[in-house]
Amino acid sequence: MRLSFRRPEKFSVYWAEIMREMVSVGIGSLGIIAIISMFIGAATTIQTAFQLISDLIPRSVVGKITRDSNILEFSPTISALVLSGRIGSSIASQIGTMRVTEQIDALEIMGVNAPGYLISPKIISGVTMVPLLVIVSVFLALTGGYIACAVSHDVSVADYIIGVQQDFNPVIVTVCAVKAVTFGFMITSICAYQGFYTSGGALEVGQAATRGVVYSCVMIIFADLVISRLLL
């Protein structure tokens, strides 16, 4: 980690690499995050409405629960788990392949700080783009809930909108942001580490990618619990 954040040989080259990684992580993951968020938002709304059929509970509560559960849990955590599969495996296998094909040795012999050149742009793109993807995910999840209300009529659209705007506590956004940044860091750093210390051949690259995804998923779930306990 210390080597990854050593002063770059040339900032402009690293900057170009960071931009490339941001596009890969951010734009490249937008599609899958959009699909998952819309469906999770819709499913959350329908299931919450199903569980709260009572004359004593106002229907608008469904909107409130959908909003809070998506901001606090579903958008950051499910997005991170999906991203660990998408970008984590890509990072581990890309760096792992570079290791077994001696491309990392070539960088080191040139005098390039290989961990810095390969890992730091990925970590920077992870901690910046994952929060942005989570923000998009929250809005799309709420939109999914809206569409579910409009189509299923389990809850009226008006009640849903009232619920989404009701009793908003800004601390949940803080929790969501902390989770997103932490998960972004975990996915990129764990998977990059697994890839960087790969040895062997194609089989080991595959194993490194699997290990990277499994370890980052476990760490995401663990960090989710810790952050929730500490901040709520």
Partner 1 sequence: MIEIKDVYKTFGENEVLKGISANFKPGKNNLIIGTSGSGKTTLLKCIVGLHEPSMGEIFYDNENFTTMNFEARVPIRKQIGMLFQNSALFDSMTVEENIIFPLNLFTEMSKSEKLDRANFCLKRVNLTGTNNLFPSELSGGMKKRVGIARAISMQPKYLFVDEPNSGLDPKTAILIDELISEITEEYQTTTVIVTHDMNSVMGIGDHIVFLNNGEKWWEGSNHEIAHTNNKELNEFVFASKFMRAAREKL
Residue numbers at the binding site for partner 1 (CB under 8 A): 9-10, 13, 98, 101-103, 105-106, 108-113
Smallest separation, CB 200 to partner 1 (Å)? 14
**Which letter does DSSP use for residue 1 in this model?**
-
Judged by CB, which is closer to partner 1: 7, or 229? 7
Residues 214, 112: contact at Cβ < 8 Å? no
Judged by CB, which is closer to partner 1: 10, or 229? 10
Smallest separation, CB 31 to partner 1 (Å)? 22
Smallest separation, CB 203 to partner 1 (Å)? 17
For residue 229, which of 34, 72, 32 has the smallest C-alpha distance? 72
Smallest separation, CB 205 to partner 1 (Å)? 13
Judged by CB, which is closer to partner 1: 105, or 167? 105
For residue 35, which of 155, 144, 126, 160 has the smallest C-alpha distance? 144
Judged by CB, which is closer to partner 1: 114, or 123? 114
Smallest separation, CB 113 to partner 1 (Å)? 7
Judged by CB, which is closer to partner 1: 91, or 220? 91
For residue 28, which of 74, 86, 93 has the smallest C-alpha distance? 86
The answer for residues whose C-beta is within 8 angstroms of residue 197's C-beta and 6 or more apart is 99, 208
Smallest separation, CB 7 to partner 1 (Å)? 10
- Helix ranges (H only) for the chain are 11-22, 28-51, 61-69, 79-83, 89-100, 103-110, 114-118, 120-152, 157-165, 171-196, 202-231
The answer for residues whose C-beta is within 8 angstroms of residue 110's C-beta and 6 or more apart is none
Judged by CB, which is closer to partner 1: 2, or 229? 2
